[in-house]
Amino acid sequence: MQEIQLDEKILSKIDFKANEEKDITITGMIQNLRVLGWGAFLILRTPEYTLQTIIDKNNINIPPDELLVESTVSITGTVKPATIKDKALNPRDYEIHVKSIEIIAASALKELPADTTKKELNVHLDTKFDLRPLTLRHPRERAIFRIASTIAREFGDALGRLGFTQIYSPKLVASGAEGGANIFKMDYFGREAYLAQSPQFYKQMMVGVYGRVFEVAPVFRAEKHDTSRHLNEYISLDLEMGYIKDFYDLIKVESLVLKSIFEKLESNCAHEIELLDIEIPKIDKIVTIKFKEVHEIIFNEFKKDYRAEKDLAPEEEKLICQYSKENWGSELLFVTHYPSEKRPFYTLDDPDDPGYTCSFDLLFRNVEITTGGQRLHVYDDYVKKMTSLGMNVNNFESYLQTFKFGMPPHGGLGLGLERLTSQICGLANVKEASLFPRDINRLEP
């Protein structure tokens, strides 16, 4: 038996100010190495920092020109105050003057297939994804996914403060949650099964247990899109909420959560925000507009006629976002009351406006990032709705038992992590906000 003591030194943070003019040892990977006549600048990448170190070639145990980028090294040196302009470095007010280097694991390549030492990762998008284990090491790529991590973590933390319980639903399912052909089929021990399009059925079930639930997990869509807006696997930030008065309660909750996320980004990701040169939106009000009103504004203000369409075209989303920012001072716009035929069967129809639903989309910087709404909650209403749509009620027996047992008025929403991250970071393609994107052409790495 071996007893190991708790040791806080294993933590990754360093108090540079407290260690000023003192020697420390720090382990990381060589992000960049610039060899000069007198020595070298070595940029060390650690879990918390991208740190500048200074090597004097006359006072070091390993010549700088024998080191390779992406090697893992342990550096011992003196912490010195500094004034560094390079935005990719963090911190910029301290550096390490190196006394000794130990090579822990040398890179196997002298020349890397993509240059991650430059300020910009100037490679084709396909190359960026083909070499993902390397290209993700670039400072700007790391910054994108620090932001994504903060969004996902604060989504859960904010909902936890609002009384929500985190759940984990199956991704192998017996039926699709939203119907249609956009579902991946697979063999499940001789039975036909599917990859989950959504945790919809399960989060509704869990409303009957906890009242308020959320999940952060992948979902799968077998849509043959090849656009800058779509992924076939993405991370969905889902919530479902019981005991609501109407779907506007959901809009209020999402606004509170997003406000908390944006504030957390400002406080925890200042380095990443500066590096990417992006602006975090502010939420000081909630702006909503009905679907039909969007068509009218686009027609009257931009002379584009989409009034016969049952969904918003990408051009409409862009134009109404532009209109909202200019006229209502909001980058976030909730569009409500979508047509019934464009919403899933479980969506509550508006009793005051037949043919339209108690649902909404959230548009942010020209793109839809959320779909949500109030659900049916009475068993007989489900049977009636499904029958009217020609659906086989027997195929949904396990789902419908939820409502046989009684359910409160409830609703929920799904927020795409990659789309939100992409819009915040100003990315041209949502795939760039996915660590390892999956689309109709890509299954590796």
pLDDT, one tens digit per residue, over 85-130 is 999 999 999 999 999 999 999 999 989 999 999 999 989 999 999 9
Q: Which of 85-94, 126-135, 178-187 has the lowest mean pLDDT?
A: 178-187
**How high is the pLDDT of residue 13?**
84
DSSP string, 83-111: ----TT-B-SSEEEEEEEEEEEE--S-SS
Distance of CA 91 to the CA centre of its chain: 25
pLDDT interval class at 3 (50, 70, 90): confident
Distance (Å, rounded) from C-alpha 71 to C-alpha 132? 17
What mean pLDDT, rounded, does the chain reach? 93
Burial of 28 (0-12, 13-18, 19+ CB in 10 A): buried
In this prediction, residue 174 has a pLDDT band, given cuts at 50, 70 and 90, of confident
What pLDDT was estimated at residue 177?
Answer: 60
Distances (CA, A) of 412 to 249, 254, 398: 10, 10, 20
SS3 261: helix
Q: pLDDT digit string (tens) for 341-355? A: 999 999 999 999 999
Place 2 in a pLDDT band, splitting at 50, 70 and 90.
confident
Q: What is the mean pLDDT of residues 416-445?
A: 95
- Give the tens place of pLDDT for each residue, 356-369: 999 999 999 999 99
Q: What percent of the chain has pLDDT over 70?
A: 97
Q: Which residue has the tokens 């694991």?
A: 105
Domains of the chain from N-terminus onward: 8-105 (2.40.50.140), 139-433 (3.30.930.10)
Residue 47 predicted with pLDDT over 80:
yes
Average pLDDT value for residue range 187-197: 93
SS3 at position 194: strand
Judge contact between 411 and 103, C-beta under 8 A.
Answer: no
pLDDT of residue 7: 65
Average pLDDT score over residue span 167-183: 80
Is the pLDDT reported for residue 59 higher than 80?
A: yes
Q: What would the mean pLDDT of 233-248 be, rounded to a whole number?
A: 97
pTM summary value:
0.92
Span 311-338, pLDDT tens digits: 999 999 999 999 999 999 999 999 999 9
